[in-house]
């Protein structure tokens, strides 16, 4: 990923940094009596993958239980849950994830689940990890009833029947308080288990660093409780750092979810954590604003109406005015801001805020647009003109988890072709593009950069080779070299680490990944199957298999 020296055949590492890049003859002068030499015998060495958008520390709880992603209908989902409950009679909570309302002929209800599991709470998170499907027992334990208020009607709410009773379908995190009240959340245990498992998995996929775009716990709407979760998570990471056992460089964004949260308190929390964690291994870098939901759940804000629900009016959880306020205050305090932008209107409003903050004098702010999903061409042009960094998850532009069907239904064929995930346009236009899986919104088994790159190059779902459908438009497919750059230098740039990681250059940290073969020699449909045999972070191996 070094344009001045794109290919080399030998690398020397001294301590935790790269001390030589070139050929074997030049590397010989670095060999001493205690030098360890590794002959890769034709394997491929790359910079360690750096993801700009994951939720690895505390999101593992979202993927517990039954896996619903391969099902095609409500009856399929119910059959999977029924079999899972029978096979796990001792589980207090029946969990699952991956359902998609676009694949159902009728909306999900508690009655559906009551018929198969009446005596234990059932809690199923959808494939976007934003909505939940509960049975009556789960709602009872969580204190959900007719009098339960909707945090933000039209966005964060419970679907209700004609009498106002919750039906069991909670939209856009409306379920989180009930999840905590039911006893399903145990912070210390779940955060540690999730972090260790997902960091191990990420290292096995060649990941050496990432930006944690907000801590995904069910306390995200409560600033004080959520701050406590951050302290638990960061302390855990720091203990691993001290033991030289930390597997990923971690750059933390602090989540801001609703207008009811104090901006002053938010900045105080971020400043306090920044003062405690500010190294190249663990750093609190800024704020992540999550103002809306996703278009496939009709929870994002569009310039034009939804195609299948033109009457749907969406209210933002963080208003455009408050988003503007947070961005300017954070930038003035020296923090970067990343914003979840799925809907075209939210993209437009956020660009306005970024440019307004820059006009106010915050010219060094490195604010970014996360997901960058449905983007009007006029706003695409503004992004390119102002070189605003964007992050994209390529697998979402495939048939994975029914996403293609849901997108076409929500915004129609024309906008799908012209507005949806314009990754090639962004890269060719010269703005910084990073890629990520956004675990848990993408299943952990598909989190690898190579899986995302296969999706970006082929526009097909790499986890389902038998599905040969291509998500349009193919004009947005990118090259493997472009994707690998986005998976390394692109992410490093968003974390302000491009001078320290992301490429194999002298003086940079020894963050590297070793592949079993040259990934440029394999068929595009085999990119994701290329095995990672070794991962090194900060000069030490964090994963080895066959090396």
pLDDT at 414: 94
Mean pLDDT over 505-510 rounds to: 98
Record the tokens describing residue 94, joined without a space. Answer: 């029946």
Task: Name the helix (H) or strand (E) containing 166.
Answer: strand 166-171
Mean pLDDT (whole number) for 6-29: 96
pTM: 0.88
Model confidence pLDDT, tens digit, residues 370-379: 999 999 999 9
Percentage of residues in the chain having pLDDT higher than 70: 100
Q: Model confidence at 308, in pLDDT bands (50, 70, 90)?
A: very high
Question: What are the DSSP calls for 204-218, one per residue?
Answer: HTTEEEEEEES--ST
Mean pLDDT score of the chain, rounded to an integer? 94
In the predicted structure, residue 500 carries a pLDDT above the cut 90:
yes
pLDDT at position 116, please? 96
Q: Is the per-residue pLDDT at 440 higher than 90? A: no
Amino acid 303: pLDDT: 97
pLDDT bucket at 447, cuts 50 / 70 / 90: very high
Q: Which residues of 153-185 are buried (b: 16+ CB within 10 A; e: fewer)?
A: eebbbbbeeeeeebbbbbbbbbbbbbbbebebb
* CATH number belonging to domain 60-181: 3.10.310.70
Domain ranges (residues) in the chain: 10-45+507-544, 60-181
Lowest mean pLDDT among 214-228, 273-287, 376-390: 214-228
Residue 219, pLDDT score: 83
pLDDT at 216: 84
Confidence of residue 233 (pLDDT cuts 50, 70, 90): very high
The helix-helix angle for 344-359 and 377-386 (nearest 10°) equals 30
Q: Quote the pLDDT of residue 130.
A: 85
Residue 431 has pLDDT above 90, yes or no: yes
Just give the CATH number of 10-45+507-544. 2.30.40.10
pLDDT for res 402? 85
- State the pLDDT at residue 74: 95
In the prediction, which pLDDT does 161 show? 95
Q: For residue range 329-341, what is the model confidence (pLDDT) as tens digits?
A: 999 999 999 999 9
Q: Please give the order of strands across the beta sheet that includes 44-47.
A: 44-47, 512-515, 532-537, 540-544
DSSP 8-state assignment for residue 149: P
């Amino acid at each position: 990923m070094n344009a001045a020296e794109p290919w080399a055949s030998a690398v020397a590492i001294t301590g935790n940094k790269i001390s030589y890049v070139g050929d074997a003859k030049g590397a010989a002068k670095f060999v001493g009596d205690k030098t360890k030499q590794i002959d890769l015998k034709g394997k491929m060495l790359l910079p360690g993958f750096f993801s700009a958008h994951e939720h690895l520390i505390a999101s593992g709880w979202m993927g517990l239980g039954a896996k619903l992603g391969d099902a095609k209908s409500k009856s399929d989902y119910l059959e999977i849950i029924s079999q899972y409950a029978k096979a796990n009679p001792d589980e207090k909570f029946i969990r699952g994830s991956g359902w998609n309302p676009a694949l159902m002929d009728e909306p999900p209800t508690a009655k559906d689940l009551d018929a198969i599991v009446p005596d234990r709470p059932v809690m199923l998170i959808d494939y976007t990890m934003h909505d939940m499907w509960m049975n009556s027992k789960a709602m009872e334990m969580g204190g959900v009833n007719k009098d339960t208020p909707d945090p933000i009607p039209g966005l964060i709410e419970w679907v209700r029947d004609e009498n106002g009773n919750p039906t069991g379908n909670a939209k856009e995190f409306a379920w989180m308080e009930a999840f905590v009240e039911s006893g399903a959340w145990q912070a210390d245990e779940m955060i540690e288990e999730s972090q260790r498992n997902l960091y191990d998995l990420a290292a096995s996929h060649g990941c050496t660093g990432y930006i944690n775009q907000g801590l995904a716990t069910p306390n995200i709407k409560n600033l004080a409780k959520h701050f406590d979760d951050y302290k638990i998570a960061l302390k855990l990471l720091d203990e691993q750092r001290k033991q030289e056992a930390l597997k990923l460089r971690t750059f933390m964004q602090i989540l801001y979810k609703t207008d009811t949260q104090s901006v002053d308190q938010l900045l105080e929390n971020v400043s306090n954590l920044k003062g405690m964690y500010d190294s190249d291994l663990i750093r609190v870098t800024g704020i992540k604003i999550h103002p809306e939901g996703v278009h496939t759940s009709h929870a994002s804000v569009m310039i034009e109406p939804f195609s299948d629900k033109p009457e749907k009016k969406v209210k933002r959880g963080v208003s455009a005015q408050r988003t503007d306020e947070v961005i300017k205050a954070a930038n003035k305090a020296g923090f970067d801001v990343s914003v979840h932008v799925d809907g075209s209107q939210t993209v437009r409003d956020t660009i306005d805020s970024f440019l307004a903050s820059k006009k106010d004098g915050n010219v060094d702010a490195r604010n970014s647009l996360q997901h960058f999903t449905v983007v009007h061409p006029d706003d695409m042009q503004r992004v390119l003109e102002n070189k605003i960094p964007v992050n994209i998850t390529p697998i979402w532009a495939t048939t994975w988890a029914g996403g293609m069907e849901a997108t076409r239904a929500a915004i129609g064929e024309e906008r799908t072709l012209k507005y949806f995930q314009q990754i090639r346009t962004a890269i060719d236009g010269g703005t910084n593009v990073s890629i990520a899986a956004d675990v848990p919104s993408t299943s952990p088994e598909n989190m690898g950069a190579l899986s995302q790159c296969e999706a970006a190059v082929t526009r097909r779902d790499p986890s389902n080779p038998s599905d040969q459908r291509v998500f349009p438009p193919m004009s947005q497919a990118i090259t493997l070299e472009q994707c690998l750059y986005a998976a390394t230098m692109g992410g490093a740039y968003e974390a302000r680490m491009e001078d320290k990681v992301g490429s194999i250059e002298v003086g940079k940290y020894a963050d590297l990944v070793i592949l079993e073969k040259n990934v440029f020699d394999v068929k595009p449909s085999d990119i994701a199957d290329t095995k990672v045999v070794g991962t090194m972070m900060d000069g030490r191996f964090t994963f080895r298999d066959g090396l």
